Structure 1
């Protein structure tokens, strides 16, 4: 499997996300970056009383439930630009799977 991932903050919701690009199968998926979210819980307790942030956290669930078809990195960045990310804010690293 040829899998890449990038850690980002969603530009409209400020929710930490992981973007996965499966180059072999040709799709991009999103996941909440639970590790970063848990760190935020520990250092920003006030954030969990912020109704806007909590709403945004819930809002990204639909984004994370879908696979988006793309075949190349060019298409990945084109798609990400359309949904509000800047290409310069997204740096993919290849994952080594055992």
Structure 2
């Protein structure tokens, strides 16, 4: 199985996300980057609008509940660009599965 992973900050909600692309199944999936969110909430006094951040976290749950069909890594970049993520701002790395 060829699986790729990248971390990014959602351009509109500022929620840290992880995007996965499974080349074999042709599926793109998102999940919240819980490790980064944990660090961010540790410094909650520095978050300008905590209520808005928490609301955005909830909104991102909807994005993470669906897999999206794509045929290639190039299609993944196009999908992300439609979300406002620039290709130059994201770097996919292969995930080694045992």
TM-score (norm 1): 0.93
User: Aligned residue for 1:34?
Assistant: 34
2:48 and 2:23 mapped to 1: Cα distance? 36
Structure 1 outlier segments of 4+, above 6 Å: none
Unpaired runs of at least 5, structure 1: none
Residue-pair matches, total: 97
1:41 and 1:77 mapped to 2: Cα distance? 29
How far 1:74 sits from its partner (Å)? Answer: 1.1
User: Aligned residue for 2:79?
Assistant: 79
Unpaired runs of at least 5, structure 2: none
1:41-78 deviations in whole A, cap 9, x for unaligned? 22x12239711111101110110001010011111111
How far 1:90 sits from its partner (Å)? Answer: 1.1
1:92 correspondence with 2:92: yes
Relative distance call for 1:18 and 1:73 in structure 2 (3 A) is: same
